[in-house]
Amino acid sequence: MNSSRCLALAALLLAAPAAAPAGEPLAVLTSASGAYMEAFSSFQAAYGREVRFRQASGRSQDVPPDTSVVVAFGGRAANLHYPAGIPVVYCMAPGMFPKNQQGNTKSAKISLIPEFGEIFSRIKRIQPGLKRLRVFWMTPSFAPFETVFREAGARQGVEVAAFRVVSAEDLPGMLRTSLRTADAFWLPPDPLLLTPETLMILKEFSWNNGIPFYGSTKGMTQEGAAASIGVSFRAMGAAAAEAAAAAEAGQKLPEVIFPKAVELTVNATAARKCGLQLSEDLLRGADYLFP
């Protein structure tokens, strides 16, 4: 190759734009243990390869410049400030919604519960005669879903009335007045409302009055709910991996993503206290059965 052709080729190489880096996801965990690590491990497996992660600290998170998407596991990680323009997938973060995060419209939240229609379908398998359901909530983020939840119940012949609990001290009185004509009540995964004290109040009222209490997490069932229809940490992690891959591909994400896998947990003692007759098929289909 003569010198003139070498110079021409070198000029073309210098003028050609460098290939843009594909980027790498970054997982930020509230804690590198327990449920957060379980969900992250599922995320990593579904994503198909090892993913770098950091534990949340401070008010903002240092993000490497080649980060393609951030996946935040837990409320503390979700509350951190992330650079504008980077999609964020919020997982295991009740009360957090993407539209409130730095105007980032490419982000999404993985729901801690299944779609509302699926919740009603599962509850009616447990309690076929259900006609009137009451819902209690405290976290303001549930307010936008109140109408959606009511409409989902109406489609399955269930009248739904939702009540916001302003103070935990008001809960016993609210239960007495609002459940006089109710067949059952349900609670979302509300971090403000759910405390050891309120769970004890809910359990005692349910058991003493024979009104089934339905929850949305395995922990609620263990603490006295007759059953819970929720999403496992494994399913949340898998859904987060799918959302992260879609964000990296430039796809527009829905504000809330409902994982498809549903986790049913049953408390046999609570069911008996409330007069529920659970079929053998239903018990065999439960993911967890507490005695």
Tell whether 88 and 224 lie within a shared domain. no
Contact, 251 vs 231, CB < 8 A?
Answer: no
| Model pLDDT, residue 212 | 98
Tell whether 172 and 208 lie within a shared domain. yes
d(CA 32, CA 178): 41
Q: Is residue 108 part of a domain?
A: yes
Q: Is residue 19 part of a domain?
A: no
Cα–Cα–Cα angle for 211, 263, 34, rounded to 5 degrees:
110
Tell whether 144 and 179 lie within a shared domain. yes
Q: Is residue 182 part of a domain?
A: yes
Tell whether 56 and 163 lie within a shared domain. no
Closest among 188, 187, 194, 190 to 211, alpha carbons compared: 187
| 103: pLDDT strictly greater than 70 | no
Range of the domain at 190: 116-230+263-290
* Both structure tokens of 124: 């009616």
pLDDT in tens, 200-217: 999 999 999 999 999 999
Tell whether 127 and 90 lie within a shared domain. no
Tell whether 272 and 250 lie within a shared domain. no
Q: Is residue 54 part of a domain?
A: yes
- CA–centroid distance for 185 within its chain: 20
d(CA 42, CA 237): 5
pLDDT in tens, 141-192: 788 788 889 999 999 999 999 999 999 999 999 999 999 999 999 999 998 9
Tell whether 98 and 38 lie within a shared domain. yes
Q: Is residue 280 part of a domain?
A: yes
Q: Is residue 8 part of a domain?
A: no
Our count of domains for the chain comes to 2
| Model pLDDT, residue 22 | 58
| 122: pLDDT strictly greater than 80 | yes
d(CA 40, CA 29): 8
Tell whether 143 and 244 lie within a shared domain. no
Tell whether 189 and 174 lie within a shared domain. yes
CATH of the domain at 174: 3.40.50.2300
Q: Is residue 126 part of a domain?
A: yes
Residue 174 β-bridge partners: none
Q: Is residue 150 part of a domain?
A: yes
| 36: pLDDT strictly greater than 90 | yes
What DSSP string describes 148-181? HHHHHHHHTT-EEEEEE-S-GGGHHHHHHHHTTT
Tell whether 122 and 175 lie within a shared domain. yes
Residue 227 β-bridge partners: 214, 266
Average pLDDT over residues 24-37: 94
pLDDT in tens, 257-287: 999 899 999 999 999 999 999 999 999 999 9
| 237: pLDDT strictly greater than 50 | yes
Tell whether 124 and 77 lie within a shared domain. no
Tell whether 52 and 93 lie within a shared domain. yes
Is pTM, for the whole model, over 0.85? no
| 131: pLDDT strictly greater than 90 | yes
Closest among 67, 65, 42, 63 to 54, alpha carbons compared: 63
